[in-house]
Structure 1
């Protein structure tokens, strides 16, 4: 595996959504985002067949491998194993982390979505490599997302040592205030993929994150 788990940069974490892209090509969009500074990519496909997901993931993997950027698969353990992805991201309703770890082994990155301090601490205890915390702001890409306050986020940051990625409604304009909570990165969907110039959108995020 080209990606070393303990050296991963979670700073700008792109989560894909073909609904946001419209008619544009996902693989090209991912490459533009990486050129703009995206440091890690997650493929999230909720409304397609297993074959379609597999084929798209294989195409995206060619791009992420070319740039040595980690590729994470959302939810689908079978797809993550089939394409030899760098990691898998699971939610609270998915297979238990302890079960997933036995199946994928120690080398694969496992991220867990959490909305509470208890969920984040449990994820760390069970061996998660990072936690995704949100929703930090109202978001159109996940309508059932529970809101997380900045105080909640700071409490989680104090309690867990593993990397924290904030997600949900994050824009280039509000990312700086979010990074002040000392989290490791932000997960972005529409604020990059929904823009006409994807590379420029990613560059703007990186600039504001690094301020």
Structure 2
């Protein structure tokens, strides 16, 4: 699964939405492959309105739009898929609700969770945190050894690394295992998102 490595952007609720929307557009223009809307703190109405706007923007660029956690919001705007954590709705139930054609991603932290995710119908998994990150508290870091074990378990669906990833720490050791990188702060919390997207793409695409 290591061909066509993808740059997967995840939104940051700490950024005012109008500014976030502008930054997302710059990232789409620069060449991200997937966008995930993640906001666990906003009211449902706000999530509906914000995700509707971001989905429209993504589809102008032909980029899949995924929603974190909130399957009700995903269904209401006909998003391209959903991403679920270990404490969210069970994956098999989510797959039933979504149907066979939507993308279903899962956060996993070990090979058993990875195996269970595949069995339940996940199309891809996110593994992290690979490095220390400011977007989640009390995160347990995933070692390279555990990442290799997950890769050995997952043969046929993509693995995205997440958590504190920068162009400097996305080394060849990780790129050999990962099918893509999910990024928040290193792109959205900088002065020039376009430049950072290009840096990540230079790393990801040269591995193909």
TM-score range, shorter chain: over 0.9
Change (3 A) 1:132 1:23: closer
Structure 2 alignment gaps of length 5 or more: none
Output the CA distance in 2 between the equivalents of 1:54 and 1:97: 22
- Would the aligned equivalents of 2:5 and 2:205 in 1 still touch at CA under 8 Å? no
Structure 1 counterpart of 2:84: 90
Q: 1:26 aligns with which of 20, 30, 53?
A: 20
Give the 3-state SS of the residue equivalent to 2:121 in structure 1: coil
Q: How does 1:39-118 map to 2 (within 5 A)?
A: 39-118=33-112
- What is the deviation of 1:177? 3.2
Taking only aligned residues, the RMSD between alpha carbons, in angstroms, comes to: 1.8
Please state whether the residue corresponding to 1:156 is helix, strand or coil: helix
2:188 aligned partner: 193
Note if contact 2:110-2:149 (Cα within 8 Å) is conserved in structure 1: no
The residue matched to 1:169 in structure 2 has which SS? Answer: coil
Counterpart residue number, 1:3: none
Q: 1:107 aligns to what SS in structure 2?
A: coil
1:11 and 2:6 equivalent? yes
The answer as to whether partners of 2:9 and 2:32 remain within 8 angstroms in 1 is: yes
Quote the residue 2:197 is aligned against: 202
Q: Return 5+ residue gaps in structure 1 as ranges.
A: 1-8
Distance 1:18-1:101 versus aligned 2 partners, 3 A rule: same
State how far apart, in whole Å, the 2-side matches of 1:49 and 1:62 are. Answer: 20
The count of aligned residue pairs is 204
Per-residue CA distance 1:32-79 (angstroms, 9 max, x = gap): 111122110000011111111100001101110000100000000000
- SS of the residue corresponding to residue 131 of structure 2 reads coil
- Alpha-carbon distance between aligned partners in 1 of 2:5 and 2:48, rounded to the nearest angstrom: 24
Paired residues for 1:89-168 under 5 Å: 89-161=83-155, 162-168=157-163
Q: Residue 75 of structure 2: SS of its match in structure 1?
A: helix
List 4+ stretches of structure 1 deviating above 4 A. Answer: none
TM-score by length of 2: 0.93
**How does the TM-score come out when normalised to structure 1?**
0.91
Pick from 172, 177, 190: which aligns with 2:172? 177
SS in 1 for 2:171: helix
